Amino acid sequence: MKPLTTRIQLNSLLFLSYIILLACQSQSASPIFDKQRAFQNLEKQCAFGPRYPGSPGHLAARDYLVAELRKSSDKVRTQSFPSVNHLANSRAQAYNVIASFGSGNPQLILCAHWDTRPKADQDPNPENQEQPVLGANDGASGVAVLLELARIFKLKPPPYPIDIVFFDAEDMGRTSHSDEFLQGSRYFAKNKAFNYKPNAAILLDMVGDSDLQIYIEQNSQTYAPDLVDRVWTKAEELNQPEFVREVRHMITDDHLSLLQVGIPAIDLIDYDYPYWHTVEDTPDKCSPESLEKVAQVLLAYIYE
């Protein structure tokens, strides 16, 4: 039989080891994503109505995004630029919104576009095709995820500097005129500082579909295959079958602007969305669970 003092010392050592183990697990585990709060972010954006530059809800939505980000970061700025609505042959001022977390140049950009399509040109009802799109999934969903991630970053700072960027004027072009799209990300990439060279960028676009299926986008696989592999590997580790390791669709999206200036960038997008560019792109077609699944993969990628 061990002496009492020895047993007490042994028990104390075991208890201390247990506490250290719990602390290490707490440090390495991904934070908890609040899917309901994220979905409220989506609904709040839609409450402003259509949000393309020049629309009544545009500036109100911009101010909302800035105010929400300032709750989590003291480094929030807007980047103003002139935009062209090629669908209406009109011009309006547009705004990228940028929030930084951590000090120094960012190693990762998380981004989404926050504007909405000025006309529902893909609507099956011709009478709706001149109406603007509410953009619950195509615009609001990616922003909703990133607003909730910003809140998490304040509570648990990420292990390296991260920028969250909301691009404006992504969806102002005519079909088959790819040069008319991506106005905000093109301006951002063209005007970035010379030493602004993140190691990676992940774009979220249409990630709220209730029937979520995210295939690998062709440009992402071609120009940033290592980043694709790391993200899809995390999804597989988390048993997220919504991330399908199969290439489908080559998409003109904001990640192309970043790729063109040497930033490895991928597009997480569920392009097989039946309400794309229609008046039916409304919150009831989206789900908190889909936002959560995407966020969980991102959190695992960042923290683990």
Low-confidence ranges of the chain (pLDDT < 50): 1-2, 4-28
CB atoms within 10 A of CB 218: 14
**Structural domains of the chain, ranges and CATH numbers in brackets:** 33-303 (3.40.630.10)
For 160-187, what is each residue's pLDDT tens digit? 999 999 999 999 999 999 999 999 999 9
Q: Where are the beta strands (DSSP E) in the chain?
A: 76-85, 90-101, 108-113, 162-167, 200-205, 214-216, 243-247, 265-269
Task: Tell me the helices (H) and strands (E) count for the chain, helix number first.
Answer: 9, 8
pLDDT confidence of residue 12: 47
Q: Which amino acid is at 141?
A: S
Average pLDDT, the chain: 92
Going by C-beta distance under 8 Å and a sequence separation of 6 or more, which residues neighbour residue 20? none
**How far is the C-alpha of 65 from the C-alpha of 111, rounded, in Å?**
13
pLDDT confidence of residue 31: 86
**How far is the C-alpha of 140 from the C-alpha of 68, rounded, in Å?**
14
pLDDT confidence of residue 37: 98
pLDDT confidence of residue 30: 76
8 A C-beta contact, residue 174 and residue 86: yes
Query: What's the pTM?
Result: 0.91
Region of 262 please: left (phi>0), alpha (psi -120 to 50) or beta: left
